[in-house]
Amino acid sequence: METKNQTDIAEFLLLGLSEDPEEQPLLFGLFLTIYLVTALGNLLIMLAIGSDSHLHTPMYFFLSHLSFTDLCFSTTTVPKMLVNIERRSKSISYTGCLTQVCFVLLFAGLENFLLAAMAYDRYVAICHPLRYVVIMNPCLCGLLILLSLVISSADALLHTLMVFRLSFCTELEIPHFFCELDQVIKLACSDTLINNILAYLVTSILGGVPLLGIIFSYTQIVSSILRMPSAGGKYKAFSTCGSHLSVVSLFYGTAFGVYISSALTHSSKETAIASLMYTVVPPMLNPFIYSLRNRDMKQALRKLI
């Protein structure tokens, strides 16, 4: 096949979820609604936490950053899709595509680390309550956020710079609604062995270590809860973890769903729908999970409204 150097590539084509013209207005309305709900929900969470002094604790500090990350994650992909539907265009520039790849990796990685930090916070609160204030001090919380940002940024930049070395074929159609790293690499005509090894290796490490941390934290939490003498104490302890556990299940459940669907199916449409569940649904549902299951958040939202 004819190849092009990256400097000669003007644009990629995002095929989206459907090419049927009659379905485009429905898709536009659906994703505009999803994005507005995501933006409003996460902004309300951030404003409620910032305006209520009772919520200036490590748990809500991490939650406010999680809401900001969810908002940015959704903003990286959905607005471009809405613009393409409105203009009846499928194009995205080469620079825009790689920028999207970079920011998707950045915010996905950041969310991954934030969920692990929140699990550690719950572990300290339940298993070491008397030392909670000493351990989860502002310095440590800020350091965890900074470390998460640095590692996620390094990961995103590494993969993006590795794509720059690839040459691409004339066939530049991406069967997704956004530029996903795996799909961009598949379009390359040059050797992608290093890119694929790097993608699997880094994803396994940066995805596996936080997940193992979350599993370890909840193993210790469950063990500590079971040793509590009163049923009321057990319920109160577990209720503080319920929202976070729901968000973790949603995030990793959809992530594993994307991996399994891409491994088992050769249908690009099914893979695109699975990626949609991973990138769009969790940022929309997270504010509802935390506001509906958390009494302190409900009170803060009522005050804000």
Closest by Cα among 254, 305, 245 to 283: 254
Say how many residues make up the chain. 305
Is 158 a residue whose pLDDT tops 80?
A: yes
Residues 240, 59, 141, CA angle at the centre, nearest 5°? 150
Rg (C-alpha) for the chain, rounded Å, is 21
φ, ψ for residue 162 (rounded to 5)? -70, -30
What residues form DSSP beta bridges with 188? Answer: 168
Instruction: For residue 262, name the pLDDT band (cuts at 50, 70, 90).
Output: low
- H or E stretch at 178: none
Structural domain spans, the chain: 11-304
How high is the pLDDT of residue 6? 47
* pLDDT value at 115 more than 80: yes
At residue 76, the pLDDT reads 94
Homologous superfamily, domain 11-304: Rhodopsin 7-helix transmembrane proteins (1.20.1070.10)
In this model, does residue 99 exceed pLDDT 80?
A: yes
Residue 125 Cα distances to 122, 217, 221, 228, 251, angstroms: 5, 11, 9, 14, 23
Return the higher-pLDDT residue of 288 and 232.
288
Average pLDDT over residues 203-229: 90
pLDDT confidence of residue 120: 95
Q: Which two tokens stand for residue 292?
A: 């509906």
Strand partners, 169: 3
Q: What is the pLDDT of residues 135-154, one digit of tens each?
A: 999 999 999 999 999 999 99
pLDDT digit string, tens, across residues 180-194: 888 888 888 888 889
Full-model pTM: 0.90
Q: Name the region of 16 (left: φ>0; alpha: ψ -120 to 50; beta: rest).
A: left
Q: d(Cα 228, Cα 226) in Å, to the nearest integer?
A: 5
The pLDDT of residue 302 is 84
